[in-house]
Amino acid sequence: MDGGMKMILQITNLRKQFPKENGSLVAIDDFNLEVEEGEFVCILGPSGCGKTTLLRMIAGLDKPTSGSIKLKGKEIANTGPDRGMVFQEFALFPWRSVRKNIEFGLEIKNMPAAERHKISDKYIELVGLKGFEDSHPYELSGGMKQRVGIARALANNPSILLMDEPFGALDAQTRNQMQKELLRVWEETRKTVVFITHSVDEAVFLADRVVVLTSRPSKIKEIFKIEHERPRDRADPSFLALRKKILSELESEANQPSK
């Protein structure tokens, strides 16, 4: 956060367009962002803007039309275990137990079983899933499923954690609890996080910086630095004021027709 910190992610002049029946659809245009190591960045935008596309390009799942994304100074060409991703719909492997889900990436690396076990134990403990190691996803609640998703992303020890509306499918109460849990995990691991959301409340509660996007084609509209001490009090007047300010920014954007 301080100027002395190392830059980990650099996005420059990013543009993404999809072919369409008549012409093409520009999802993201003229996008520039830098993220520092250990920073928690929330990307906030009206639904239907290119938030998810942006995250998928960072993950390497989609290729930019032009521009550059660099992780630790290296251009991103493909997917890789150095970027852990957490999905809105959890995307757990239903036939694998909690432990086996978390060890998936380690298996890919051909890590010996004993070593895998040690790592999965650590993250099961970290996300609070002790006692559920051998459960299957169908036996778990939504919040527990996403704990598995987070543990799975962290088990690979990535440089950056990409979270695509990870709590969007959860009920409000679970969602609040998961936000607190995520902050606890983040404070323990000090991972860089890029977190996509369309909830202003969530962004203000979690982030060091909130990046507000315009509607399509998405550009950065404004960046808010949130300097409130954690744990943040949602009832605090300054929290509410900030929330209101960002919300009005976002609403003015959402009311505009897509270009």
Partner 1 sequence: MPAICFIFLPIKYYYVRTHDEGVAVNKLNKFPKMLTRMRDGFLLNIGFAVLSIAIFLVIWYGLSIFLDTAYLPTPVEVWDALVDSFNTPDPSLGVTMWDSIMASLKRFVIGFVLALAIAVPIGLIMGFSKFAGMIGKPIVEVFRPIPPIAWVPFLFVVTGMIWGPILAIFIGVLFPVLSNVIFGVKSVEPQLIDAARTQGASKSDLFAKVVFPYTIPYMMTGIRIGLGIGWMCIVAAEMIGARGGGVGIYILTQANIGRYDYMFAGMVVIAALGLLTVEAASYVERRVSKWMGA
Interface with partner 1 by CB under 8 A: which range of 52-60, 111-119, 171-179, 226-234? 52-60
* One residue of 152, 175, 209, 216 binding partner 1 per CB under 8 A: 152
Q: Total binding residues for partner 1 by CB under 8 A?
A: 33
Looking at the Cβ atoms of 33 and 85, the one nearer to partner 1 is 85
Which among 46, 34, 40 has a CA at the least distance from the CA of 200? 46
Asked whether position 214 contacts partner 1 by CB under 8 A, the answer is: no
Q: How far is the C-alpha of 226 from the C-alpha of 209, rounded, in Å?
A: 6
* Residue 31: both structure tokens together: 């996008």
Kindly state the helix (H) or strand (E) to which residue 213 belongs, with its residue range: strand 209-213
Residue 89 interacts with partner 1 (CB under 8 A): yes or no: yes
Assigned token pair, 188 = 């323990």
Phi, psi of 188 (to 5 degrees): -75, -35
Question: Should residue 123 be labelled a site residue for partner 1 when binding is judged by CB under 8 A?
Answer: no
42 vs 85, which CB is nearer to partner 1? Answer: 85
156 binds partner 1 (CB under 8 A): yes
SS3 at position 90: coil
* Given 139, 171, 187, 251, the residue binding partner 1 (CB under 8 A): 139
Q: Name the segment binding partner 1 (CB under 8 A); options: 20-28, 149-157, 223-231, 251-259.
A: 149-157
Can you tell me which of 91, 113, 172, 241 binds partner 1, judged by CB under 8 A? 91
Measured between alpha carbons, how far is 123 from 43 in angstroms, rounded to an integer? 26
Rg, the chain, Cα only: 18
- Any contact of residue 107 with partner 1 (CB under 8 A)? yes
CA–CA distance, 206 with 209 (Å, rounded to integer):
9
- Crossing angle for the helix pair 113-126 and 142-155, to the nearest 10 degrees: 130
> Which of 45, 105, 166, 217 touches partner 1 by CB under 8 A?
105
Q: Is 18 in the site for partner 1 (CB under 8 A)?
A: no
